[in-house]
Amino acid sequence: MGGLETERVVVGWAARDPSGILSPYTYTLRNTGPEDVLLKVLSCGICHTDIHQVKNELGMSRYPMVPGHEVVGEVVEVGSEVTNFRVGDVVGVGVIVGCCRNCNPCKSDVEQYCNKKIWSYNDVYTDGKTTQGGFAQSMIVDQKFVVKIPDGMSAEQAAPLLCAGLTVYSPLSHFGLNKSGLRGGILGLGGVGHMGVKIAKAMGHHVTVISSSDKKRAEAMEHLGADEYLVSSDATRMQEFADTLDYIIDTVPAVHALEPYLSLLKLDGRLILMGVINAPLQFLTPLVMLGRKSITGSFIGSMKETEEMLEFCKEKGITSMIEVVKMDYVNKALERLEKNDVRYRFVVDVAGSKLEP
């Protein structure tokens, strides 16, 4: 590896087409500048969005594509103007690696809503090179989009917090729902949902998990600490819970009816959409109007919120429930994730994997 001004050849695991099958891929990292951080990837979580992207389900995939946006790595080199990080620091990189820095969201420190944001993979960087993600030996990232992992937090535990944890923490914080005594619902108990239960409980909320079947009841109540478990097809129980919740975090990444869940919300309650769904959803307006309810969305979180969230999780002792795999298992992991066959997040041990063919 040369100095920061030279390109580096690295190996990652990339999808070549919409089959979404990953295999070793050799490429060069973009040219680096004075504010860039070179990191050796240690761990990378697998998010449901990775499936959407590698399979071109959103219609905007560019191949070859190295996915992975829950990245924890060790700083190997820093540019001459990097002030926040030193060689040897353990750091995180999430969904975004660039923004315009001039628009209102950027100036308001909510750069995740910048219309010119640059995704950590499947995008084009300012120099014209394709961005590639964390299923790889190394990444080069502008220091603005790098965050320090708190001391004592392991790489594999920290990785899912950078997307799943942040995705839940940000709306709870922004909408003033981070105070104790609230009653919240978590719809869908996957990677984001399980973090939702943990973070909401740590904020002092009474948490109800809402699921389509009874099969996750024991996990929700015993392992994650939920207070109630509600099966959405149980009409009697759903009626009992009408007008009881201050908010619902809806993590379902597929088309589903909204009316059953809107009816659970109190006056001024919020249904917060988080699942990436590439088709229209429907609802009857009186269900919203007659309770002054809101249907809103939220997208990951800002770098400032990322730092807050990591400190909150460290302070409260919040950890992710994960299954650690090697890179040679990644295709099977994606297959299992698509079937919701994981409790609750896969994390790839990148540094401990053989990436070369």
pLDDT at 1: 41
Average pLDDT of the residues in 160-181:
97
Q: Looking at domain 166-297, which of 3.40.50.300, 3.40.50.720, 3.40.50.920, 3.40.50.880 is its CATH number?
A: 3.40.50.720
| Distance between CA atoms of residues 36 and 273, nearest Å | 34
Band of residue 276 on the pLDDT scale cut at 50, 70, 90: confident
Structure tokens at 94: 């999430």
| Distance between CA atoms of residues 218 and 238, nearest Å | 19
Q: Which class is 8-163+321-349 in CATH?
A: alpha beta
Render 163-226 in DSSP notation, one character per residue.
THHHHHHHHHHHTT--STT-EEEEE--SHHHHHHHHHHHHTT-EEEEEESSSTTHHIIIIIS--
Intrachain domains 8-163+321-349 and 166-297 with the same fold: no
Average pLDDT of the residues in 7-15:
94
| Distance between CA atoms of residues 104 and 174, nearest Å | 17
Mean pLDDT of the chain, nearest integer? 95
- pLDDT tens, residue by residue, 63-73: 999 999 999 99
pLDDT at 7: 75
pLDDT at 2: 46
Is residue 3 pLDDT above 70, yes or no?
A: no
Band of residue 30 on the pLDDT scale cut at 50, 70, 90: confident
pLDDT at 216: 93
The 3 state secondary structure assigned to 281-347 is CCCCHHHHHCCCCEEEECCCCCHHHHHHHHHHHHHHCCCCCEEEECHHHHHHHHHHHHCCCCCCEEE
| Nearest to 114, CA basis, from 303, 252, 281, 251 | 303
Is residue 5 pLDDT above 80, yes or no?
A: no
**CB-CB neighbours of 164 under 10 Å:** 28
Per-domain residue ranges of the chain: 8-163+321-349, 166-297
- pLDDT tens, residue by residue, 124-139: 999 899 999 999 999 9
| Distance between CA atoms of residues 81 and 58, nearest Å | 37
- pLDDT tens, residue by residue, 192-225: 999 999 999 999 999 999 999 999 999 999 999 9
pLDDT at 32: 78
Percent of all residues in the chain with a pLDDT value above 90, rounded to a whole number: 92
| 3-state SS class at 13 | strand
For the chain, the C-alpha Rg in angstroms (whole number) is: 20
